[in-house]
């Protein structure tokens, strides 16, 4: 599941994930609250979570998801390249922290590890940044 308040980021990541991980069903949520509601009815294989979201933030959402579904890997995907955010995310239970705009190869590698598989191909173009 992709959780990001920017439709362009969600759309770009959805395209990338369906290309790189054939057969993977990808849900989208524009808010943390929506992500938790979706997870309640369709437990995701993994969650790619932005930090800056309207309403509940991504770090709090990560903690809530990990509290209910500890086995679901949550990867933070954010523009914030700050140690304080990274530490907060990891304390909340995040399984990884990826900074937007650093390229797709690292993102795909981290997601592949979380899913227990490998991406079909790796991309080196910059990842979409969005605002948060």
Low-confidence ranges of the chain (pLDDT < 70): 121-132
pLDDT at 111: 87
pLDDT at 124: 45
pLDDT at 22: 86
What is the rounded CA–CA span in Å between residue 39 and residue 78?
20
How much is the mean pLDDT over the chain? 89
Of 96, 16, 4, nearest to 49 by C-alpha is 4
pLDDT at 131: 54
Q: What is the pLDDT of residues 50-71, one digit of tens each?
A: 999 999 999 999 999 999 999 9
Q: What is the pLDDT of residues 25-37, one digit of tens each?
A: 899 999 999 999 9
In order of their start, the domains of the chain are 2-115 (3.40.50.2300)
């Amino acid at each position: 599941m992709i959780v990001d308040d920017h439709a362009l980021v969600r759309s770009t990541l959805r395209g990338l994930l369906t290309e790189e991980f054939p057969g993977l069903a990808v849900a989208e949520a524009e808010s943390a609250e929506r992500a938790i509601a979706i997870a309640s009815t369709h437990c995701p294989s993994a969650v790619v979570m932005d930090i800056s979201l309207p309403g509940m933030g991504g770090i709090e959402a990560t903690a809530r998801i990990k509290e209910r579904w500890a086995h679901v890997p949550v990867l933070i995907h954010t523009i914030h390249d700050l140690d304080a955010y990274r530490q907060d995310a990891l304390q909340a239970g995040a399984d990884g922290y990826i900074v937007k705009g650093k390229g797709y190869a690292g993102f795909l590698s981290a997601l592949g590890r979380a899913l227990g598989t490998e991406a079909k191909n790796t991309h080196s173009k910059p990842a979409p940044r969005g605002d948060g």
